Structure 1
Amino acid sequence: MAEALSIVIIDDNPGSLELLSVALAHSEAAVYTAANPVEGLELVRKHRPRLVVTDLVMPEMSGLEVLKEVVSFDSSIDVILMTAHYTPETAVAAIRQGAADYLQKPVKIGLLRERVASLIESANLRKRVHASSGAGAQDLEFEGLQAKSDPMWNLFAMIQRVAPHYRSVLIQGPTGAGKDLIATALHRRSHVLGKFVVLNCSAVVETLFESELFGHVRGAFTGADRDKTGLFELATGGTLFLDEIGDMPLATQAKLLRAIQNQEILPVGSLNPHKVNVRIVAATHRDLRAAIASGNFREDLYYRLSMVELTVPPLKDRPEDIPLLARHFVRKFSGEFSKPIEGLTQRALLVLQRYGWPGNVRELEHVIGRACMLSDGTMVDIDNLPESLIHTEARLNSSEESSSLLEDQERQLITDTLRAVKGNQSEAARRLGIGRDALRYKIKRYELPG
C-alpha cells in the first residue's frame, strides 16, 4: 500500500474489529473503525475513504445495505464484504451489486492484505491509464491485454473482482475481439493450480463431443482401442474454456449441464462416474437468447453458464485502443521478421483509426503483420496497408462534408440532452439510447463540458 489512503472497517464483533484494524495498519494509511453500520457510514461520509471493509451480517443494517449506501454516496470507493457463510454464488451476487471483493470469515490476514494491495494497485494503474498519452504500453497492459479505453478497463476491473470466486462465466463479443484472451486472464487471476484446457466447440464432430468432454473407456465404440481421458478430467483443479459454445449440439448441452451442476462426469462406455472440480469459461459470438428462442440452445444451460456475463466490445467502439494495439503489433512483428521497424506514420495511423474493423483485433493484427512483412523502411506507411483500407479512406474523404454535418448535428443533440438532464450522464445516455462509456467518449471527442 504505497500511496496514502484511508480505510473504514465496520464489524459488530469487537475482536474481529481489532484484528482487522491491526492487520491493515500502515504508516501511510489512516484506519477508522466502527462497531455498527450507522456509525460506519458516518465515517464514510466524513472521511471519504479509499476502501471500506464491512461484515455482511450485522444488527440494524446488513453489509449489502452498507454497500448500497456507499456506492450511492461515492461509487469510486471499494467495498470488501466479509461473511461466515461464503459461497461462490453469493460472492458473485455481491460483486454484481458493486462489491470489490467478498471474503470468508475468519478472514486470513495475508489474503486480506493481498486483496487490498491488489485493489489499490489496480486503482493507481487506472489513474496512469487515464493520464497516459498511450506511449507507455507497459502501463496499459492487463494480463497481456493492451487497452486504454474505459470499456476495456471496466472489463478488466470486473475480471479482477470475479476471478477468485466464479464457478462459471459466459464471455460474449464479436469474432476476433479477444474472448480467448479474456478467458486466459480469468484463469490467471483465479490463481487456481490446475490447467487451462481449451475446447473449440465449432471444430468438433458432433459424434465425438461426449468423448472429448468426458473421455471414454476401451471398447466403448468402434475405434476406441484404449481408455481416453476427457477434457473435464484433464482440467480438474483448473479451468475448462469452451470456445464458441453456441455451436455445441443440443444433446451434448444436456450432458454438459449435468456435469457442471454435479461436478461429476461419466466417460463413454463406463459405469463409474468420476468427481471433478472444474471452473467453466464459455465464449460465443452468437446471440444465445435468440438461439434459445429458436430452440438451438438450452435455456437452463445458459443460466448455469451466465453466473457471470462479460462482454468484449468491438474494436470500432474503442477507437482510442487502435494506436496502442497497432504499435504493440508492430513491435511483435518487427521482432518476428527481424526488421528495424520503429512504428507507424501519422497518416497510416489515421487510416487505421477511420476503418470499421469488422474482424476486430484479429483483423488489425493480420493487417499490421502484413504491413511489417512488406515494409522496407523503419516506419509502416499507407503503402504497406491493404487496398481495402485505402479505398475505405478514399470513400470517407469523399463524404467528409456530409460526415461533418452529421457530427455537428450529433454534437448539438448531446449538448441539448445534457442541458435537459442538468449534466446527469447516466440519464443522458439513457435518453440518447447509447452506453455511458460511449457518451463519455463523445463528450471528450466534441470537447463538451462534462
Structure 2
Amino acid sequence: MRERLAIEGDLAQRTEFCGMIGRGPGMQELFDLIRRLAPHVRTALITGETGTGKELVARALHHEGPRRVRKFITINCSAVVETLFESELFGHVRGAFTGATENKVGMFEQAHGGTLFLDEVGELPALVQAKLLRTLEAGEVQRVGSLEQRRVDVRVIAATNSNLTQLVAEGTFREDLFYRLNVIPIPLPPLRDRREDIPILTQHFLERLGRDLVPPRPNVGVSQEAMRQLMAYAWPGNIRQLENVVERTLAFSQGRTQIDVADLPPEIQAAAEPGLAVRVAFPDDGIDFENYVHDVERELIRQALRRADGNKRRAADLLQLKRTTLLEKMKRLQP
C-alpha cells in the first residue's frame, strides 16, 4: 500500500503544472498551449463549466509569461454590485458621486504592467462592456467623474461558464467585445471528459488535505471499489466538487488509512451500475495501478459501444463524452 501511494504521489508530481494536475492527452495539450501562449498573449478567453479550474489557467498564463513579477488582479464580475462596476474597474475621482469622498484607483490601474483576470465576464453590465471595449482597444482608462485619459498596460484574461455566443445572440453581451476578448480561446474540459485524471486528482487532494488534519493523515488511500464509483460519477461540479468530496470522505473515514465506498456521498455510491466496472481481484503482492485504470476505461467504453450497437456518437453520449474524446480514448486504450 505504501509503495503504491508513493508511485501515485510521484505520478501526480510529474503531471502537475502551475497547480493543475492532468496526465491525459487533453490536459497535456492544455499545458503545452499555455507554455506556447504565455510569452505573447495579451488577451484570452477561458471557457468551461464551474469548477474546471479557469482561474488556475489564468494564473498559469501570468506565471509563465514576462509579467510574472508584476501584479495579478482578480475581479469576480458576478459578485460586484452593478452600480459599483465602473468604479471598481476604472476608478473614480473625489466628488464623482455621493459617497466618493476621495480618489479611487481602479483595478485596471492597479494591474498596470501585470494581468487583470475578469472572472464570469458574461455578467458585465452593458455600460461597463462598452468602456471595457474602449480600454482594450485604446489602452486607456477614464476614472468616473474625470475627463482625463490614463494609459494602462494590462494583459486581460477573461473567463466564463456561460455561452457567450448565445448571450451575443440574445443581445445581452456585445458582439464586438466578444470578438475582442476571444482572440485566444482556451476551452477547459469537464472532469467527466478526463476521467483518467480522477485517480491522481483524488490522491493529490487526499495528501494535501490529509496533511492539514490534526493529527496529519497524508497516507490515506482509496479502495478499488470506491475508485470505481468515483470514476463512474458524472461530476457536475467538476474538480471543485471532487475536492469537496475528498474532504468529506476524510472526515467520514475516522482515522482509517483507506477510503471505502461507504465513506462516499450517496449520489456517488449509486453512480455505477452493477457489473459495469472491471472486476479485478487484488493480489497479495499489489497491482499495476495505471494499467488497472486503463482496464476500467476500456471496459466502460466496451459496454457503451455494445449498448449503442457500435454507434460511436451514441456511445459517447452514454459516457457523457465528446465523440472526439471517445475516439481518442479508443485509440489510446487499444491493447
TM range (shorter): 0.7 to 0.9
Deviation for aligned residue 1:135: 4.9
Indicate if the aligned counterparts of 2:92 and 2:145 stay in contact, CA closer than 8 A. yes
Aligned to 2:96: 220
- Equivalent residues in 2 for 1:136-151 (5 A)? 136-151=11-26
Whole-Å Cα distance in 1 between the matches of residues 301 and 25 of structure 2?
25
Superposed CA RMSD: 2.2
TM-score, normalised relative to structure 1: 0.62
- 2:258, 2:275 → 1: CA distance? 27
Contact 1:237 1:278 in 2 (8 A): yes
Kept in 1, the 8 Å contact 2:12–2:201? The answer is: no
Distance 1:243 1:184 in 2: 12
Contact 2:8–2:203 under 8 Å retained in 1: no
Q: Give the secondary-structure state (helix, strand or coil) at the position aligned to 2:50.
A: coil
One-letter amino acid of the counterpart of residue 385, structure 1: L
Whether contact under 8 Å (2:9, 2:204) holds in the other structure is: no
- Looking at structure 2, the residues matched to 269 and 353 of structure 1 have their Cα atoms a distance apart, in angstroms, of 55
* Aligned partner (choices 267, 286, 309) of residue 162 of structure 2: 286
2:259 match:
380
Give 1:443 shift: 2.9
Query: Cα deviation per residue 1:354-411 (whole Å; 9 max; x = unaligned)?
Result: 1000100000000001111222201222222111111223xx22888x9965432668
Q: Output aligned runs, 1:233-312, within 5 Å.
A: 233-312=109-188
Q: Check the 8 A contact 2:74/2:118 in 1, yes or no.
A: yes
The residue identity in structure 1 corresponding to 2:153 is N
1:353 corresponds in structure 2 to: 231
Output the CA distance in 2 between the equivalents of 1:443 and 1:234: 48
Contact 2:9/2:203, CA 8 A, preserved across alignment: no
Contiguous gaps of at least 5 residues in structure 1: 1-131, 415-432
CA distance in 2, matches of 1:298, 1:378: 53
CA contact (8 A) 1:147 1:153 kept: yes
CA distance in 2, matches of 1:139, 1:316: 22
For residue 143 of structure 1, report the CA deviation from its aligned partner. 0.9
Q: What amino acid is the match of 1:146?
A: I
- Aligned-partner residue type, residue 198 of structure 2: I
Quote how far apart the aligned CAs of 1:434 are: 2.5
Once the 2 structures are TM-superposed, how far is the Cα of residue 412 of structure 1 from its aligned partner? Answer: 4.3
> SS of 1:316's equivalent?
helix
Which one has a bigger Cα radius of gyration? 1
2:246 is the counterpart of 1:368: yes
Q: Deviations over 1:88-144 (max 9, x none)?
A: xxxxxxxxxxxxxxxxxxxxxxxxxxxxxxxxxxxxxxxxxxxx9785211111111
Partner of 2:200: 324
How do 1:174-193 and structure 2 match up within 5 A? 174-192=49-67, 193=69
Pairing of 1:83-122 with structure 2 (within 5 A): none
* Alignment-derived partner of residue 271 in structure 2: 392
Question: Paired residue for 2:306?
Answer: 408
Matched, 1:342 2:217: no
Question: How far apart are the structure 2 equivalents of 1:138 and 1:398?
Answer: 33
CA distance in 2, matches of 1:135, 1:352: 21
Show the counterpart of 1:197: 73
SS of the aligned residue for 1:170 comes to strand
Instruction: State the 1:347 CA deviation.
Output: 1.4
Paired residue for 2:326?
A: 438
Whole-angstrom distance in 1 between the partners of 2:303 and 2:222: 30
4+ long deviations beyond 4 Å: 132-135, 402-405, 409-414
Amino acid at match of 1:434: R
Q: Is the 8 A contact 1:149 1:318 kept in 2?
A: yes
Identify which of structures 1 and 2 has the higher relative contact order when contacts are C-alpha pairs closer than 8 Å and 6+ apart: 2
1: CA distance, partners of 2:172 / 2:63: 32
State how far apart, in whole Å, the 1-side matches of 2:8 and 2:139 are.
Answer: 47
CA–CA distance in 2 between the matches of 1:277 and 1:403?
49
Code of the aligned partner of 1:371: T
CA distance in structure 2 between the aligned counterparts of 1:136 and 1:303, rounded to whole angstroms: 39
Provide the rounded CA distance (Å) in 1 between the counterparts of 2:276 and 2:32.
39
- The Cα shift of 1:194 comes to 1.8
Structure 1: distance between partners of 2:89 and 2:302: 54
Task: Select between 189-198 and 284-293 the one with higher mean Cα deviation.
Answer: 189-198
Q: Which residue of 1 aligns with 2:33?
A: 158
1:63 corresponds to? none
Name the amino acid aligned to 2:262.
D
Cα offsets for 1:44-86 (capped at 9, x unmatched): xxxxxxxxxxxxxxxxxxxxxxxxxxxxxxxxxxxxxxxxxxx
